Chains A and B, each alone.
Chain A
Amino acid sequence: MKPGAGLLALLLAGLLPGPSAGAQTPATDNPFAAAIDRAGQRVVKLHGAAFGREPGYGSGVLISADGRIVTTLSAMLAGRTLRAVLPDGRVLPAELLMEDEQRHLALLKVAADGLPFFEFDSSAHLTPGDWVISAANPFKVADGPEPVSINVGTFSARAHLAAVHRAQDFPYDGPVLLVDMVVSTPGSAGGALVDADGRLVGLVGRAVTGRRTGTWINHALPVEQVAQFVHGEPYRSAGGDEDATATNRLTALGIRLLDLGGRLRPAYIERVRPASPADIAGLRANDLVVAMNGAAVSSCEDFRRTLRLAAEPDRVTLVIKRGDEMTVVNLPMETSP
C-alpha cells in the first residue's frame, strides 16, 4: 500500500461518517476529511431498471438546492422505477429532464429543497500528481442510507477520449481527466471527482476501454463539459472521419490522403493537386505526415482531427517523412472553397 493510502486508512479508521451522513462531524485531523465530507453530502445513489448487462444502479451529483442531479446516460434511467437515495438517506423518485447522447450525460430531478449541491467550478487548475477524490457507489456496496464509497488517487493527465464501450466506439471523443485510481467499475459512473479542497472537477465517466491501449480508462468528464450540458450547449465533436471541415481543408490544401479504411491507417499522401498550396510548398505523393502544428499524427484520423480543430486562418506546419528524412513544410491554410 502506498504511504498516502496507508495514512488515509489509518486516519479514516473510526472516523468514517456513519449511516446518518447528514449529522456527521467532519474528521478534521484527516488531510482529505473536509473534501470527503463535502463530496459525500452532494452525491446520490441511483437505482433503476437493469437491462441485460447494464447494471440497474449508478451515481449522480447534486447541482442545485432543489434537487437537480447530473449523472451519466445509461439504460437504467429509462425505466419508471428510477429512484435517488439522497445523502441524508431519503429515497425519492427521480425524473429524467434532459439527456445528451454525445457527452453521455443526463439531468434528473427529485422533489426536494435546501439540499447541499456542487457549483460548477473549474478543472483547469489540476496538475498531474494532484490529489483527487472520487465519491460514488461502485458495485452498489453502499447499502440503503450508507455513505458512498471514497477513493483517493492522483490526477494523471488531460486527454481526448478514444474509447470502446461494449465493442462499439464510444460516442464522446472530447476532453477527459485521466485519474490514477480505479473508477472504471459498475456504478461509479456519475459520481463526483473532487479536488483536495472538495471542489467538483469532474463527473466519473462510464467504464470504457481505450481504443488503442485495450485497457480500462479511469477517467472523469471535466466539470466544464457538465456545465455546458446543463446550460443546454450542444456538444461539438472533436471530429470524426466524415467531418466535412477536414475534408474541405484537405481539398483546399491540395492533399488527397491514401485512405484505405480501417482504423489505424498512416497518413500517407496519395496525391498532391498541381499548383495547390501543398504542391507549391513542396509536398509530394507518398510523403507520410507524422506531425501537424506540434501534435503527433499517427493516422489519417489524427490528421483530420488536428486539421479540423486548427484555428482559421492559421498556418499549417507539417512534419513529413520522405524516405528516411524528416522535413518541415509550412502551408497557408485557406478558407474553405
Chain B
Amino acid sequence: MTVARIMPVVCVCAATLVSAAGDAGAAGRLRGAQQQVFNAALAAVEPVIVRIETIGGAAPGDTSRAGLGDALRPGQGPATGVICSADGHILTSSFGFLHNPLVIIVTLSDGRCFVARLIARDYPGRLTLLKIDAVGLPEPEWLAAAQLRAGQWALAAGCGHASPRPALSVGVLSAVARLGGRAVQTDVKTSPANYGGPLFDSAGRVIGICVPKAGQGDDEVAGTEWYDSGIGFAIRHDYIQERLPRLKAGEDLHAGFMGLRFAEDWPLVGDPAADAPTVGVRINAVPDGPGRAAGLVAGDIVTHVDGQPIPGLLELRRVLARRAAGDTVELAVRRGAEQTRASVTLARAAELRQEGGPPATPPDPDQPPPG
C-alpha cells in the first residue's frame, strides 16, 4: 500500500528521467500506468459510494435564502454519501439536507434502494449521519491521518450529476490540516457534484468526506462561491472516527466554546526570565459564560487542555475543535506564580449569545475560537 501512496512521486521522477532520454514510448507507458491507477482507485472506492435522493421538506432556495439566486439552489440534486459501517451507517455532507427532507432514499452501487433515517448531524464538520436497514455492506478502507502528505494524489467522486457511475475528479492534497485540524485541503474540484462523497488516495483509501468550505454561522450553503475553485475541503477520517460513536447514538454535535477572550500575540506567552520557557495562552477578558463559571480570571495563562500542552492559539483551536458543546475540558492554568486547574463545560455559540451580548470570540465554525 505504501508503494501506491508514493506512486505520484515515482511517476514524476521517472518521467523526468525519461524526458531527458527523449523516450516517448516509456513516457507513454507511464502516462498509461498513471491513468490505470486512477481507474482502479475509483473502482476500489465505488462500492462504498451511495447516491442519496431527498424528497420533500422546505422548498430548496426558499425565502430564507433570498438573494442567492437560482444558481445556488442547495440540496436539489442527488447527494453523495459514504458507507461507514457494514450495518448501514452512511456519512454525507449536511449540504444536501438543509431543507430537512421528508424522505431520504439511498441507492447503493449495486442498485439496491433503501429508505434512510437521519440519525444525527455534526455541525462543525457539516456532516450528517444516515442509517439504512442493511447488513453486510462494504466498508471503506480509510487512510490513516498519519500517512497524509501534502502533494499526494487525491481523488473525489460524487453522484451530483446523476451519472450512472460517480463522476471522478483528480487532484492532490494541498494541506493535511485545515479548519481547526478537522479537514484536509485539496485542489480537487469540489462542488455539489461531490459534496458528501469520498476524497481518496490513488489506492482507493478514503481520506475524508468532501464538504463545502464553511462560512460564518451554521449556513450549509455558505461557501458556494468556492465551487470548483481549486480550494476544497474534506473532513478527516480521524475527526470522523472520534465523533462517530456519539453521532451513531443520535447525538447532534455542535462546536463548543469557553466564552473567553485571549491575547492575540503569537508566540504568546513565554517567560524569558524563567529557566525553562513556559507555554500557554493568556486570557485577556472573561465575559459571563462557561469560563467565568469555572473561576477563570483575566491574566490567567492556560498551559494545558486535557493534558495536552498549549503552546499557542492554533493548538488551542485544534484541541477544542475535537470537543463539542456540552463536553467538559480540564484546563491547567498559571495564575501569577500559582498553578491551578479549572473544569470548563463548553457551550454552544447560541448559548453564549443568550447569556448576554455576542460571544467573546466570534463563532466561526471554520476556526473555532480559542474560547
Residues of A with Cβ closer than 8 Å to B? 1-4, 6-7, 10-11, 28-34, 127-131, 153-160, 162, 164, 167, 178, 180, 182, 196, 209-210, 212-217, 264, 266, 288, 290-291, 294-296, 298, 319, 321, 324-326
Contact = CB atoms under 8 A, between A and B. Distances in A.
B192 A154 contact: no
A291 B55 contact: no
19 contacts: A3-B8, A3-B12, A3-B151, A29-B18, A29-B23, A29-B27, A31-B24, A128-B42, A131-B35, A196-B35, A215-B227, A216-B228, A217-B161, A266-B103, A296-B162, A319-B113, A321-B103, A321-B105, A326-B113
B170 A2 contact: yes
Contact of A154 (B105, B168, B224): B168
B257 interface: no
B201 to A, nearest CB: 13
A311 to B, nearest CB: 17
Interface centre among B22, B39, B193, by most chain A C-beta atoms within 10 angstroms, is B193
Contacts of B107: 291, 296
B30 A6 contact: no
A266 B39 contact: no
Is chain B's binding surface mostly helix, strand, loop or mixed?
mixed
A296 B78 contact: yes
Contacts of A159: 161-164, 167
Interface residues of B, number: 70
Interface string B168-189: 1111100000000000000101
Contacts of B39: 127-130
A288 B103 contact: yes
A212 B171 CA distance: 24
Contacts, number: 185
Contacts of B72: 214
A196 B18 CA distance: 17
B24 A29 contact: yes
Nearest to A217: B161
B42 A129 contact: yes
Contact of B192 (A214, A298, A324): A214
Contacts of A182: 228
Given A7-B12, A159-B163, A291-B107, 4 more contacts: A29-B23, A29-B24, A128-B168, A210-B160
B113 A296 contact: yes
B168 A129 contact: yes
Contacts of B11: 3, 7
Contact of B105 (A4, A158, A296): A296
Given A129-B39, A291-B113, A10 B16 contact: yes
A129 B167 contact: no
A154 B35 contact: yes
Contacts of A129: 35-42, 155, 168, 170
Nearest to A212: B77
A326 B78 contact: no
B154 to A, nearest CB: 9
Interface centre among B151, B161, B224, by most chain A C-beta atoms within 10 angstroms, is B161
Contacts of B42: 128-129
B245 interface: no
Contacts of A155: 168
A33 B113 CA distance: 45
A266 B102 CA distance: 11
Given A7-B16, A128-B38, A264-B76, A180 B105 contact: no
Contacts of B166: 128, 157
Given A7-B12, A30-B27, A154-B168, A180 B162 contact: no
B70 interface: yes
Interface of B: 8-9, 11-12, 15-16, 18-24, 27-28, 30-32, 34-42, 51, 53, 55-56, 70-73, 76-78, 103, 105, 107, 111, 113-115, 151, 153, 155, 157, 160-172, 187, 189, 191-193, 224, 227-228
Nearest to A219: B161
A321 B172 CA distance: 40
Nearest to A154: B170
Nearest to B166: A157
Interface centre among B9, B11, B20, by most chain A C-beta atoms within 10 angstroms, is B11
Contacts of B155: 129
A193 to B, nearest CB: 15
Contacts of B111: 291, 294
Contacts of A153: 170
Nearest to B71: A214
Given A28-B22, A30-B19, A180-B170, A266 B27 contact: no
A294 B108 CA distance: 10
A229 to B, nearest CB: 23
A32 B31 contact: yes
A160 B153 CA distance: 28
A184 to B, nearest CB: 9
Contacts of B78: 212, 296, 298
A2 B228 contact: no
Contact of A324 (B34, B38, B115): B115
A30 B107 CA distance: 42
Nearest to B195: A213
A156 B167 contact: yes
The 6 A-B pairs with the shortest beta carbon distances in the complex, nearest first, are: A129-B38, A212-B77, A159-B163, A157-B167, A31-B31, A157-B163
B73 A214 contact: yes
Nearest to B34: A4
Nearest to B30: A31
A216 to B, nearest CB: 7
Contacts of A178: 161, 163, 167
Contacts of A158: 163-165
B76 A212 contact: yes
Nearest to A130: B35
Given A10-B16, A178-B167, A180-B168, A213 B27 contact: no
Interface centre among A28, A153, A214, by most chain B C-beta atoms within 10 angstroms, is A214
Given A159-B161, A215-B228, A288 B55 contact: yes
Contacts of A162: 162
Contact of B114 (A167, A215, A298, A326): A326
A129 B38 CA distance: 5
Nearest to A209: B71
Contacts of B165: 128, 157-158
Nearest to B132: A326
